[in-house]
Amino acid sequence: MDRTQEKIMADENHVQHMFLRVENNDVVCLLNIAGHPYRLRELIFMMIENGCIVMQTTSDGFNTFEYDQETVEVHDFLTSIIKAKFL
Protein backbone atom coordinates (compact mmCIF):
# COMPACT_ATOMS: atom_id res chain seq x y z
CA MET A 1 0.00 0.00 0.00
CA ASP A 2 1.49 3.36 -1.00
CA ARG A 3 1.52 6.42 1.25
CA THR A 4 -1.55 7.97 -0.40
CA GLN A 5 -3.56 4.81 0.25
CA GLU A 6 -2.29 4.69 3.83
CA LYS A 7 -3.44 8.29 4.40
CA ILE A 8 -6.87 7.54 2.92
CA MET A 9 -7.33 4.46 5.08
CA ALA A 10 -6.18 6.30 8.21
CA ASP A 11 -8.56 9.22 7.59
CA GLU A 12 -11.76 8.24 9.39
CA ASN A 13 -13.68 10.93 7.48
CA HIS A 14 -12.67 9.76 4.00
CA VAL A 15 -15.62 8.68 1.86
CA GLN A 16 -15.32 6.33 -1.09
CA HIS A 17 -18.15 5.94 -3.58
CA MET A 18 -18.90 2.98 -5.83
CA PHE A 19 -21.59 1.15 -7.75
CA LEU A 20 -21.96 -2.62 -7.35
CA ARG A 21 -24.02 -5.28 -9.10
CA VAL A 22 -24.96 -7.99 -6.59
CA GLU A 23 -26.54 -11.32 -7.53
CA ASN A 24 -27.65 -14.38 -5.63
CA ASN A 25 -30.17 -17.16 -6.22
CA ASP A 26 -33.13 -14.96 -5.26
CA VAL A 27 -32.38 -11.44 -6.44
CA VAL A 28 -30.29 -9.19 -8.68
CA CYS A 29 -29.69 -5.64 -7.51
CA LEU A 30 -27.48 -2.65 -8.13
CA LEU A 31 -26.12 -0.74 -5.15
CA ASN A 32 -24.98 2.85 -5.03
CA ILE A 33 -22.83 2.92 -1.89
CA ALA A 34 -20.67 5.45 -0.11
CA GLY A 35 -18.61 5.21 3.04
CA HIS A 36 -15.15 4.67 4.47
CA PRO A 37 -13.12 2.20 2.37
CA TYR A 38 -12.71 -0.24 5.29
CA ARG A 39 -16.47 -0.32 5.86
CA LEU A 40 -17.18 -0.82 2.16
CA ARG A 41 -14.73 -3.72 2.04
CA GLU A 42 -16.40 -5.25 5.09
CA LEU A 43 -19.79 -4.89 3.42
CA ILE A 44 -18.56 -6.54 0.20
CA PHE A 45 -16.93 -9.41 2.10
CA MET A 46 -20.18 -9.99 4.03
CA MET A 47 -22.12 -10.19 0.74
CA ILE A 48 -19.62 -12.68 -0.72
CA GLU A 49 -19.64 -14.79 2.47
CA ASN A 50 -23.43 -14.96 2.15
CA GLY A 51 -23.19 -16.42 -1.36
CA CYS A 52 -23.53 -13.29 -3.49
CA ILE A 53 -21.67 -12.57 -6.69
CA VAL A 54 -20.42 -8.97 -6.46
CA MET A 55 -19.15 -6.96 -9.44
CA GLN A 56 -18.21 -3.30 -9.64
CA THR A 57 -20.19 -1.35 -12.25
CA THR A 58 -20.60 2.28 -13.34
CA SER A 59 -23.09 5.05 -12.76
CA ASP A 60 -24.43 4.34 -16.27
CA GLY A 61 -25.05 0.74 -15.22
CA PHE A 62 -26.89 1.97 -12.13
CA ASN A 63 -28.95 4.60 -13.98
CA THR A 64 -30.00 2.28 -16.82
CA PHE A 65 -30.70 -0.80 -14.66
CA GLU A 66 -34.19 -2.17 -15.36
CA TYR A 67 -35.93 -2.72 -12.04
CA ASP A 68 -39.53 -3.25 -10.99
CA GLN A 69 -39.57 -2.02 -7.41
CA GLU A 70 -39.00 1.27 -5.67
CA THR A 71 -35.42 2.28 -4.97
CA VAL A 72 -34.54 1.51 -1.35
CA GLU A 73 -32.33 3.95 0.50
CA VAL A 74 -30.61 2.95 3.74
CA HIS A 75 -28.75 5.39 5.95
CA ASP A 76 -26.25 3.49 8.05
CA PHE A 77 -23.89 5.24 10.45
CA LEU A 78 -21.07 2.93 9.33
CA THR A 79 -21.71 2.82 5.58
CA SER A 80 -23.24 6.28 4.99
CA ILE A 81 -25.68 5.62 2.14
CA ILE A 82 -26.78 2.56 0.25
CA LYS A 83 -29.29 2.95 -2.58
CA ALA A 84 -30.50 -0.37 -3.97
CA LYS A 85 -32.50 -1.14 -7.10
CA PHE A 86 -33.92 -4.67 -7.26
CA LEU A 87 -34.84 -6.76 -10.28
* Residue ranges covered by each domain of the chain: 3-86
| Whole-number pLDDT of residue 5 | 76
> Is 57 buried (19+), middle (13-18) or exposed (0-12) by CB count in 10 A?
middle
| Whole-number pLDDT of residue 82 | 73
Mean pLDDT by 10 residues, the chain (87 residues): 74 85 90 87 91 94 82 67 74
| Whole-number pLDDT of residue 73 | 74
| Whole-number pLDDT of residue 1 | 61
| Whole-number pLDDT of residue 60 | 93
Q: Which pTM does this prediction carry?
A: 0.77
**What is the rounded CA–CA span in Å between residue 71 and residue 4?**
35
Coil, helix or strand at residue 27: coil
**What is the rounded CA–CA span in Å between residue 64 and residue 16?**
22
**What is the rounded CA–CA span in Å between residue 66 and residue 5?**
35
